[in-house]
């Protein structure tokens, strides 16, 4: 290792200060030099930035997916709340509130009694002006919720 590189490793803040002062004094010359390099190598800069943005995008996508997998139910609730906000309906439902509704109805579908794939169903659908509040939701399995579609059906009270 040379003396210069040893000095750089042992005095990084002094080196950074030197570079900052040099850049201030020679701002125009450095800008001309960078412009000249860009003109001589137009594709290299673009390829490098594209490669970076592509890998960065993939990293962010993978990170978001890991977060979703780790918190599926919370992600679903946030998605429902966002959908309700977009439709300008009143209310939001928190994860704890939804868990209380599930416990209240025995963690089962109110139509068929299944305990698999339970979803939040709006008694009065948001598309028909229903609110996104706890008193307007019921647990239905995915199949029953899909069959109900955008109709008003209250399975919470049975005779």
Query: For residue range 110-137, what is the model confidence (pLDDT) as tens digits?
Result: 999 999 989 999 999 988 888 999 999 9
Residue 40 in any domain: the answer is yes
Q: What is the domain range of residue 26?
A: 3-70
**Cα–Cα distance, 17 to 62 (Å, whole number):** 38
Q: Are 128 and 148 in contact (CB under 8 A)?
A: no
82 within domain boundaries: no
Q: Would you say 107 and 140 are in contact if contact means Cβ atoms under 8 Å apart?
A: no
**pLDDT of 159 over the 60 cut:** no
Assess whether 21 and 66 both reside in one domain: yes
> Domain check: are 66 and 94 in the same one?
no
State whether 100 and 64 are in the same domain.
no
Please indicate, yes or no, if residue 154 is contained in any of the structural domains: no
Please provide residue 54's backbone torsions phi and psi, each rounded to the nearest 5 degrees: -65, -45
Q: Is residue 85 part of a domain?
A: no
Average pLDDT of the residues in 41-69: 78
Number of folded domains in the chain? 2
Q: How far apart are the first and last CA of the chain?
A: 87
Does 15 fall in a domain? yes
Mean pLDDT rounded to a whole number for the chain: 87
Is 155 part of a structural domain of the chain? no
Residues 57 and 108 in one domain: no
pLDDT in tens, 10-38: 888 988 998 999 999 999 998 898 888 88
User: So what's the pLDDT on residue 46?
Assistant: 63
**66 and 94 within one domain:** no
């Amino acid at each position: 290792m040379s003396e210069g590189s040893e000095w750089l490793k042992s005095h990084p803040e002094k080196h950074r200060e030197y570079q900052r002062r040099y850049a201030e004094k020679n701002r125009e010359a450095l800008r001309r030099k960078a412009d000249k390099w860009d003109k001589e190598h137009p594709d290299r800069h673009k390829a490098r930035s594209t490669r970076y943005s592509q890998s960065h995008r993939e990293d962010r996508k993978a990170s978001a997916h890991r977060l979703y997998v780790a918190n599926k139910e919370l992600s679903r609730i946030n998605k429902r709340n966002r959908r309700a906000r977009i439709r300008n309906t009143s209310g939001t439902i928190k994860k704890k509130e939804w868990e209380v509704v599930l416990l209240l109805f025995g963690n089962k579908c109110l139509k068929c009694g299944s305990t698999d794939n339970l979803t939040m169903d709006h008694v009065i659908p948001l598309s028909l002006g229903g609110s996104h509040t706890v008193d307007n939701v019921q647990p239905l399995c995915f199949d029953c919720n899909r069959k109900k579609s955008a109709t008003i059906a209250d399975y919470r009270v049975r005779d």
